[in-house]
Amino acid sequence: MKLGRELVSADAIQRRVREMAAEISRDYARVDQPLILLPVLKGSVCFATDLSRHLEVPVNFDYVAVSSYGSGTESSGHVQLLKDLTMDVAGRDVLMVEDIIDTGLTTAFLFEHVQRHRPASLKLSVLLNKEERRIKPVPIAYKGFDIPNQFVVGYGLDYNELYRNLTAVHVLEP
Ligand code: 5GP
């Protein structure tokens, strides 16, 4: 597999992230406790970091990690929690930050998991959405880009742990 064409440029990402941050800042302007940002490791780190730097509301960070068994470019649908919440989210406003939603199985699993801890509110922000592949519907509150059904890397997303540091999103080619 090799790095293919650029699908979403670094400029387009930065522009959209700023727009999303403005919308989130408006929506959470009146909450009394800091908004808890909950990035899903490892892929969401670039997006969550850039997004947080443009937010105009106080935030806390917590992180969760999952493995979706399987390697290469297909997710298997068997989701396992590798790292749980460390903060008490009960009664708090939580915003899950996802890099990409494909079948929706990972996000749906995590959403239900966090919901069981009784946050005051739980919403989902995602940078990249592959709507075509959806098996399980997920309630996306803030969406960056709809992309076609292609395996992508960069801006946090990897292939065998490579390419996470790229500033743009690229297609991976055989
Ligand atoms: P799901 O199918 O459960 O929505 O997505 C599972 C996980 O597969 C995502 O969180 C992400 O880690 C990975 N994934 C899905 N599509 C892509 C892709 O195009 N590129 C990369 N690097 N990972 C992906």
Sign of the four-CA dihedral 153, 157, 158, 161: positive
Query: Measured in angstroms, how far is the CA atom of residue 75 from the centroid of ligand 1?
Result: 6
Q: Are strands 35-41 and 64-68 parallel, antiparallel or unpaired?
A: parallel
Q: State the catalytic residue, choosing from 27, 32, 102, 158.
A: 102
What local confidence, expressed as pLDDT, does residue 52 receive? 98
Q: What pTM value is reported for the model?
A: 0.95
Tens of pLDDT along 3-57?
999 999 999 999 999 999 999 999 999 989 999 999 999 999 999 999 999 999 9
Domain that holds residue 140: 11-147
Whether 102 sits among the annotated catalytic residues: the reply is: yes
Which residue type is seen at 94?
V
Query: Measured in angstroms, how far is the CA atom of residue 133 from the centroid of ligand 1?
Result: 11
CATH at residue 128:
3.40.50.2020
Residue 158 included in any domain: no
Tens of pLDDT along 67-90?
876 556 666 668 899 999 999 999
What local confidence, expressed as pLDDT, does residue 121 receive? 98
Q: How far apart are CA 16 and CA 126, in angstroms?
A: 11
Which residue type is seen at 21?
A
Residue 5 included in any domain: no
Average per-residue pLDDT in the chain?
95
**Protein residues with CB under 6 Å of any ligand 1 atom:** 43, 68, 75, 100-107, 151-153, 157-159
What local confidence, expressed as pLDDT, does residue 107 receive? 95
Residue 103 included in any domain: yes
